[in-house]
Amino acid sequence: MRVLAPDCDADEIRRHLEAIPRIAAGDRDAGPIAALPQAERFHWLVAPASTVVQPGDVHTGMTDDPAATLDHLFATLVLPPSPSPGPGPPPIDT
């Protein structure tokens, strides 16, 4: 976060992120959006025009193995890339 936006307020971003599951659950202490019906809360949570948290488009799909699919998505979209297993660049002659 500091690399992409060094002047950002980490506490403010944290508050916005922590509000997402509360809004999804309909926690009325999470503000007026949390008091909306479930379908309307979902609309607000996935709105791509969010000023702080910008989720991607909604995707639907089916899987026979939800745990394996979640592991794959986490490894692909969340974890930092693994170092390449290749030999690397050739040495530089000096």
pLDDT of residue 37: 94
pLDDT of residue 85: 62
Those residues whose C-beta lies under 8 Å from the C-beta of residue 73, and which sit 6 or more positions away, are none
Element spanning 24, H or E: helix 10-25
Q: Which of the residues in the chain have pLDDT under 70? A: 48-59, 83-94
- Spatial CA neighbour of 36 closest among 23, 19, 54: 23
pLDDT of residue 4: 77
pLDDT of residue 84: 64
pLDDT of residue 58: 66
pTM of the model: 0.48
CB neighbours of residue 7 within 10 Å: 5
- Spatial CA neighbour of 59 closest among 46, 71, 77: 46
